[in-house]
Each structure stands twice: as structure tokens, then as C-alpha cells.
Chains A and B, each alone.
Chain A
Amino acid sequence: MISDVLRNLFTSGELVSGIGETFYMVCLATLFAYVIGLPLGLLLVTTDKKGVRPMPVLNTVLGIVVNILRSIPFLILAVMLIPFTRAIVGTSIGSTATIVPLVIGSAPFVARMVESSAKEVDPGIIEAAQSMGASTGQIIFKVLLPEAKPSLVVGAAITITTILGYSAMAGFVGGGGLGTIAVSYGYNRYQTDIMLLTVALLVVIVQLFQEIGMRLAKRIDRRIH
């Protein structure tokens, strides 16, 4: 059962551009989320009381900020950030504008993912590096990051799928992409088939990213052969 609306969606190219917008938002948001989240996560690990360079005050403050940002539901964060988004992008509607709340909403998540990946690195390896006279920077770039790489890749796959979920939610506040299509046709106009179709597409995209991430992580990991 293919409704006329669905056919129109295809012929008008709305669905295809929706998929494109979703990829655009998700990829750029993931990139910027890592630009902020990766250093933040590494800072959380190194300043931890068991870290390479303990700084209890900074660590506690960072931890609290990350927790606050993580506890705000994404949709509410997106609404709260509207003035900020408008100031940066010039508008709060559309896929480019949605990147702003996506980045701010997911960067703390990325920080926690990076932190947990880096904490998986055997403390003994770090101690060995310290015994060789490695500086904090050398430990971060030559030990923590390379040793945690497979776990970081898995984390990135999880992050992408989370951001994808956020981007679909952003459909309610005019975020663009598949989310907007699902909301405007499925929710506002009760066209369930279109909603289901967009959901199916989202499922496929999630599977794709997750699978690629997992396979990549397995391929680069030198621990099991």
C-alpha cells in the first residue's frame, strides 16, 4: 500500500533530501562533538585523582558541568538554546541550526565515552610509560589514545547513533532531516505509513553506523587475533 503522499515524497525528492540532511547534521555534529568532547574526556581522565596529573578541583568542576548538561533532556536543551543558536547560525530552524544543540547536547556524552575508553587502558602500561620518563602529553598521545583506539571507535559508533536519535527528536522543533518528515507527516497529519517508513530508514542508518563501527574496532584491535 503506497499512498499518493508517499509517492509525492519520492518524486518531489523530499525524502531523499531528508536523508541527506540527516547525514549532514549527524556527521558534522559528531565531528564538532568530538572536537569539544575528546579533549574534555581526556582532561577528565588525566585530572582524576588516580590520573596522570591529578587536579581534584578542576576534575570535580568539569564532572559537575558534564553531568548537568547530560541531565537536560535533549528536546528541552534544543529549545533552551534557541537564542544561542540564532546568534550563531542566524536562524533556529533547519538542519544547520540543529547542529548547534546537537553538539552541545552530545559533547558531554562524548566526554564520558572518551573518559571510559581511556580508563580501560591498563594502569600498568601507564606506569611503565612513566617509568621511562614519559611526560603527561606523551602519555596522552602515545599511550592513552593509541591503546584505547578500538574502544574509542566503538564509542564513536555509539555516539553517532545517539546523535542520530537526537537529530530525529529535533524534528519537533523544526530541525530538518528525517525527523521533520516523521513529525510533519506522521505526527501532524496522522500518516502512519510515512512515519513508519522514516523510522525504518532511521533503523537502517543506525544499523549501518553501528556495524561499521564494530567491524572497524575489531579490525584495528591488536589484542585478539
Chain B
Amino acid sequence: MLQNTTEPGAEKPIIELQGLCKTFRTKAGEVRALENIDLAIQPGEIFGVIGLSGAGKSTLVRCINCLEAPTAGKVLLEGRDLVKLSKKELLEARRSIGMIFQGFHLLEQRTALKNVCFPLEIAGVKHEEAEARAKELLELVGLADRMESYPSQLSGGQKQRVAIARALATNPKVLLCDEATSALDPNTTRSILALLKSVNQQFGVTIVVITHEMKVIEQICHRVAVIDQSRIVELGTVQEVFIRPKSAIARELILPTGGQSKEIPLGRRCLRIVFDGNSSFEPVISGLTLACGVLVNILFADTKDIDGRAFGQMLIQLPDDDGAIESIQAYLDEHGIYHKEEGEYDF
């Protein structure tokens, strides 16, 4: 199911999951958290895993550094199967995989500086060397003036910055982010994501992002895997999945649902228009109404700038006249704009 064609050159994947399964034994019986996961993550990419809560994404990320031992399958880090390592070798291997969490998980009794020193202490790095490295990293994440602060004195965004600095202390090749921005407000989320992106670009650290929010994926990821009911149901570049979601779950994650959708009149035919790149700078809707001579009702619109290109989507209500619908579709086809009738899609 995996295609590496999206990546330039056929590099060897840095992380490869093969036939990964994870089953939890609970009193209520066996719970299958992951079923037959195959995944290859390329060095230097920002890879997203999106899914609803309970889909298995947190378990998936914990299998990558073997915090959860897989029930079956392989976890290859640069070709080396982590599952087969001895305990000591595994502890060693984990130093090349940093991890940040939704709840930050900083040591509450240590200053920001000492928190960043922590993984270095564990790795047996000399005290002075560790502090120098920690200072450098705290400067990198923009907290040069908060080194002596304790976590309780820092805001959520600052705590996550400390956590990022801490995760980078041992120069990891991979950074795992488990819902790292889910506890943060939208502005802080944006700045943390921007930081992760710059870390990726500056140091070439491969980043795996676990989230339930499409906006996180849109902002930083190159490729995305959609996970639903313990399986990967879709995988591709963010553009591909965003423009043409194949699975119902991916469409649910991309399209507005929940409370908002209830206001959308049911039973009417709707058309989803997806803008990619230049097309969102063109007055598409105005052009469409003029060219086709129909009035369209915009039910939902969300456009944004992603990675220097404009992306977005709009949901318009179609007129009851079949002829008008055809002319609208023809107009969109002519302008090379992807559209899909969402009539069968149950909001």
C-alpha cells in the first residue's frame, strides 16, 4: 500500500513499520489497537498520522520507540528492528528518537535548563557540556530568558518549547509528536508548528506528527496517513489527501462536521470545490455566477495559505435546475478546479 514515489530519489526509509499489530488484553477481552500497519517514513520528512480519538494513533507512535511493545511485526529504525533489541540496546536506541507530548511532561522540580539537561544526564554527558548544549537549545526555541524558570512559571506554549529543546538535546534523528499542540490555543499552536518546521528544515530531523486536527497536518506535514479503527485507510501527500480524500474518515476530518453541519440544509445538492495553488486567487465564484447566470449559496468556506501555496475548499449549494448544475460543473472543469458533488455525503 506504500508508495515512495512522492519522495525525490529512492532513499532508504528511516522508520519502517512492517505488519505491525498491537493487541491489549483487558478484563473486557482483547482490544486490537493496531492491525497490520505497514508504513515507511523517509528521512527528513514531516509525516502526519491523523485519526479520531481511539483510532490507535497514540499506540502507533508509542510502538515507534517501543514504549509499547508490538504484539507482532517489525519496527525498523534505519533498518534495525527495535523489537529484537536487548533492553540495554533499546534504551540506547531511544536516545536517537525524541518525543514530545500533549501534556508536556516536564520535570516539575527542575528548571527549564535542568529539564533540557535531563536526557543528557541520562546519556552520561558531562555536566558542563550538558549545560552548554541545553543553553544553546533553549536559545534556539526562544527561551533564552527563561532558563531558570520552573515549569509552573511557564505558559503552555513555553512548556512545549522546553519539551522540544529537551527532545532535541541528544541530537535525535527522529522527533515524535504525540498531539503536541492539542492543549494549546490556535496562535500558540501555529508558533509551535512553525518551530517544528524550522527544526525539520535546519537539522533535517524527521518528524512524526500524531494529531486529530487537519489544520496541524495542513500546516507542516509533507505526507499523511489516515488511521481509522486500528488500520491505515489512506496514505499520500497532504495535497492528494486534502484535495481528493478517498476514505469516508478522511472526508469527515477535512469537511466541517458536528454542530456546524446541522445548519446545512439536508436534502439539497451540494458541491465541494477545492482550490489548490493559484486558483484560489482567481475570483472563481464571481466568475461562475456571471458565466453560468446562476446564484450560488456558499454553505462553507475555508481557504488558507499552506506552504506558500493557497489551499482551501468551499461548499456551495446547487440550484435545483439540472442544466444550471451542468453548466457550473463545466465551468469548473474548464478552469481546472477540482469539484465533487457531496449529495451522497451524509452531513
Q: Measured between alpha carbons, how far is A221 from B110 in the docked complex, in Å?
A: 10
Interface residues on B, range: 20 to 34
What residues of A have a CB within 8 angstroms of the CB of B60 in the complex? none
What residues of B have a CB within 8 angstroms of the CB of A221 in the complex? 109
A133 adjacent to B105 (CB under 8 Å): no
B123 adjacent to A124 (CB under 8 Å): no
Interface residues on A, range: 20 to 34
What residues of A have a CB within 8 angstroms of the CB of B152 in the complex? 222-225
Asked if B65 lies at the interface with its beta carbon under 8 angstroms from chain A, I say: yes
B121 adjacent to A142 (CB under 8 Å): yes
Most buried by B among A132, A135, A146: A132
B95 adjacent to A124 (CB under 8 Å): no
B105 adjacent to A149 (CB under 8 Å): no
What residues of A have a CB within 8 angstroms of the CB of B170 in the complex? 132
What residues of B have a CB within 8 angstroms of the CB of A60 in the complex? none
Residue of A nearest to B111 (CB): A222
What residues of B have a CB within 8 angstroms of the CB of A131 in the complex? 65, 67, 94, 97-99, 176
A132 adjacent to B107 (CB under 8 Å): no
Asked if B101 lies at the interface with its beta carbon under 8 angstroms from chain A, I say: yes
What residues of B have a CB within 8 angstroms of the CB of A91 in the complex? none
Most buried by A among B65, B101, B108: B108
What residues of A have a CB within 8 angstroms of the CB of B92 in the complex? 133
B122 adjacent to A138 (CB under 8 Å): yes
What residues of A have a CB within 8 angstroms of the CB of B65 in the complex? 131
Asked if A143 lies at the interface with its beta carbon under 8 angstroms from chain B, I say: yes
Asked if B242 lies at the interface with its beta carbon under 8 angstroms from chain A, I say: no
Asked if A211 lies at the interface with its beta carbon under 8 angstroms from chain B, I say: no
Other contacts beyond A131-B97, A132-B95, A135-B91: 7, CB < 8 A: A122-B105, A128-B106, A132-B94, A134-B122, A143-B107, A222-B152, A225-B150
Interface pairs (10), CB distance under 8 Å: A122-B103, A125-B107, A128-B99, A128-B163, A130-B67, A132-B94, A133-B122, A135-B91, A147-B108, A221-B109
What is A's interface to B at a CB cutoff of 8 Å?
A: 122, 124-125, 127-135, 138, 142-143, 146-147, 149-150, 221-225
What is B's interface to A at a CB cutoff of 8 Å?
A: 65, 67, 90-95, 97-99, 101, 103, 105-110, 118-119, 121-123, 150-153, 163, 170, 176
- Pick the 10 closest A-B CB pairs, nearest first: A133-B94, A128-B105, A131-B99, A133-B91, A124-B105, A132-B119, A222-B150, A133-B95, A223-B152, A134-B122
